[in-house]
Chain A
């Protein structure tokens, strides 16, 4: 420190005044005092005295802050020599005097204060004096200006405290009423108010005490009262902040027993390092205070973090039964995300429960199985858990619905679906959702009579249910159609009469009209029948394409000659479908799908309108959403020709992963196993795109399709090439599919042929043999390896090239094209391995 102090003798280049000011501004008051005192000898001006006085006061405040009051007082009195009244920090000076017990000087100091000065200029001093007069220095009140507001408020407070002595809290509040808002005793009034609230509400006490800031002289009292009003953990938290005597006072007023106080003392000593071990030890030691059960539960949980305590724990507590032990372990594993371990412990729990013979054992088993089902990713396993859970608790509606959904989505689960639905219906015969499921199932199985029965049942519960109404109507229509095909025309008439009774609105009226027309025609009255059919079809559909489709479907479904009927309608070859008309067609198709109409019939009907559908796509500028909707319907009816046409157009137009998926889906007629390497590569790119663009729906579709492909080709599922060459690594081709660049122009049939041969090639040649040509051309093996690491598509490209070579087909693509498209020569990345 000494080195840092500037020696006056060394000051040469700057004047003394400037040096002193520098120290002053830097708040180095000790140096500043030395310099100003020196300066005073040369330049005794009021300005220098003023600076010197300021330095003394600031040093005095600094010493007082360290508890060095005597030093502070000397320095402050030095300041007095250089300053003038009113003196700086006069209120602090008086408090320091009180702290050192120099009451004579306090008296002198207070005598120099006027009433107005105390009340207005020194409010902080008034606050402190208020507390000190009420506690340790009552004699100070005689030195206070008697006409001050402070004295008046002091008397008010003393009256209130007297009332408190008489144990009248109301009298205390009444006595405090004259106290003005800005009184020196306002925080004391808050304390008394908080005490009066204690019997009513701890929360209110805390709210009241929060008004006393940490700068108030009453703040320690507020903290004590807060602690006294608290209990439990909050009391513990308050107590550890206090000192021993304060804790004892709070403990006494709170009614804490000796044992509790002993714990608090122990806890206070260790609370700043409350490790798991410390917590464990405290819980073990004071278990009679916490309750043995709680202490045991706590210690058991802490053992995860403090396993060394196991021995002590075993000594102190009875070990858990096997079920409880596994249950807790299962939950702990779940908490950590270790699902497989959790399942292991849950399975043990199930086994124990099933042998326990306990009253709720079966329910508990079912609940565990449902929990496992919820956490299970594999749908087959999830279905297994749900099905088992229903054996133990047959009355869980949501499990039936969930299970039905799974069975419905999976192929070859018809029997399980049926059995599950029957059980669900038996358990919940009046449930709307389950009845709706039953209707859908009946429609799918073409058991229209059954569907109508369920629909009637559903309408009895929910008369406004449109799905049930529509189903009832469709079931009657389907039944009438069957009768028509069987030429039971009198029964058809009866069925039509039934339909009329339903009275379900305009659209159904049109269907009835068409059915009547078809019946007239079928009964042999062609002269009346044919125009009636045309009128009915045109009544329902204003555009020729929808009309022709509807007429074709009606003829097919009713077993009537299609050509005869279509001859009466306008030709559609040159027609164009507007967006609105395409929507109508989608609705028609959807209705037939819902009714479970055979796909072959729909395909036959679509053949008639294929030309306008293809032409319209090119001219009508349909919105993407509409095209997507149409494609979804085409997938539902497995019409790959139209799907191929629409998906190819849409992919060129919108470049989204879903369109690439539909393209591939259509190209392989929906059979994932038939994908060639080209298709798989395209799907992988689309999947990557979907992942990057957060297109979750497309991602799931592509994943499931690829899964099916890999199931059919397990050798590819091993992902040897992908893993080796890191498919997911970012490529540098700016989102362009290199496979498309190289082979996109090849006709589909050539590509299919190349794919087939490429698969054989892959089994015949080693990777080294395949890249040999490439290495030779590039002349740099490392560059080829780096390129392979960056882009897994190089491999399938080479395979296709080799396949073309074997087939002796000139596909216009060579090794050089591969080098160029994948930029094999240009890239010169650092080798990513630590060696090299």
Chain B
């Protein structure tokens, strides 16, 4: 689960102005008519941390929402952008060709 800081892409110590700037930028990228849900999420994030008082309130009244998926998100990150070359692709096709059950399903 993303924090408002993550949703807006700002640091924990960002200023009011920086948060507002990031919010406007996000709204520009995700206007409500394109994805209403995403827009609402961005708006809620801004409301949660828009000024000093909101941020103190957010820190006070937010129970850390860490589920197992949050852990997985943190654990299974890499710096490598996956690249599938011809050899890798061949390996991938071989795995499909070895899948007898799938071959039968495909022919039935």
Contacts and interface: CB of A to CB of B under 8 A. Distances in A.
A289 B92 contact: no
B106 A255 contact: no
Interface string B10-29: 00000000000000000000
B82 A254 contact: yes
Given A221-B93, A231-B77, A249-B95, A95 B103 contact: yes
B64 A297 contact: yes
Nearest to B74: A290
B96 A263 contact: no
A260 interface: yes
A313 interface: no
A256 B72 CA distance: 13
B70 interface: yes
Given A232-B76, A249-B95, A195 B81 contact: no
Given A95-B104, A260-B75, A297-B64, A249 B86 contact: no
**Of B60, B64, B78, which is in contact with the most chain A CB atoms at under 10 Å from its CB?**
B60
A68 to B, nearest CB: 12
A279 B69 CA distance: 11
A254 B68 contact: no
Interface in A322-340: 327-328, 331-332, 335
Given A135-B93, A233-B73, A332 B78 contact: no
A136 B72 contact: no
B57 interface: yes
Contacts of B76: 231-233, 235-236, 256, 260, 264
A360 B85 contact: no
Interface of B is mostly: helix
Interface string A125-157: 101100110111000000000000000000000
Contacts of A229: 82
A765 B102 CA distance: 87
Interface string A271-301: 0001000010011001001110011011011
A677 interface: no
A425 interface: no
**Of B75, B84, B85, B90, which is in contact with the most chain A CB atoms at under 10 Å from its CB?**
B75
Contacts of B66: 294, 297-298, 301
Contacts of A214: 105
B84 A225 contact: yes
Nearest to A360: B56
A368 interface: yes
A738 B75 CA distance: 71
A786 interface: no
A364 B94 contact: no
B88 A219 contact: no
Contacts of B85: 164, 167
B33 interface: no
Nearest to B57: A367
Given A198-B84, A229-B82, A255-B82, A221 B92 contact: yes
B72 A371 contact: no
A92 interface: yes
**Of A253, A291, A301, which is in contact with the most chain B CB atoms at under 10 Å from its CB?**
A253
A99 interface: yes
Interface residues of A, number: 81
A301 B63 CA distance: 9
Contacts of B73: 232-233
B25 to A, nearest CB: 19
B103 A199 contact: no
B48 to A, nearest CB: 13
Given A64-B104, A95-B104, A279-B68, A232 B84 contact: no
Contact of B94 (A124, A135, A290, A294): A135
A18 to B, nearest CB: 31
Contacts of A232: 69, 72-74, 76-77
Contacts of A216: 106
A228 B79 contact: no
A364 B107 contact: no
B53 A363 contact: yes
Contacts of B105: 214-215
Nearest to B75: A289
B52 to A, nearest CB: 8
B102 A136 contact: no
A58 to B, nearest CB: 12
Nearest to A228: B82
Interface in B21-66: 52-53, 56-57, 60-64, 66
A161 interface: yes
Contacts of A64: 104
B91 to A, nearest CB: 6
Interface in A232-253: 232-233, 235-237, 245-246, 249, 253
* A-B residue pairs, 8 tightest by C-beta: A255-B80, A232-B73, A233-B69, A233-B72, A217-B106, A135-B97, A255-B78, A236-B72
Interface of A: 61, 64-65, 67, 91-92, 95, 99, 124-125, 127-128, 131-132, 134-136, 161, 164-165, 167, 191-192, 195, 198-199, 214-221, 224-225, 228-229, 231-233, 235-237, 245-246, 249, 253-257, 260, 263-264, 274, 279, 282-283, 286, 289-291, 294-295, 297-298, 300-301, 327-328, 331-332, 335, 360, 363-364, 367-368, 371, 393
Interface of B: 52-53, 56-57, 60-64, 66-86, 88-100, 102-108
26 contacts: A64-B104, A91-B107, A124-B106, A135-B94, A135-B96, A165-B86, A167-B86, A198-B81, A215-B106, A217-B96, A217-B106, A220-B102, A229-B82, A232-B73, A232-B76, A236-B75, A236-B76, A246-B95, A286-B75, A294-B66, A298-B70, A298-B71, A301-B64, A363-B52, A364-B56, A393-B53
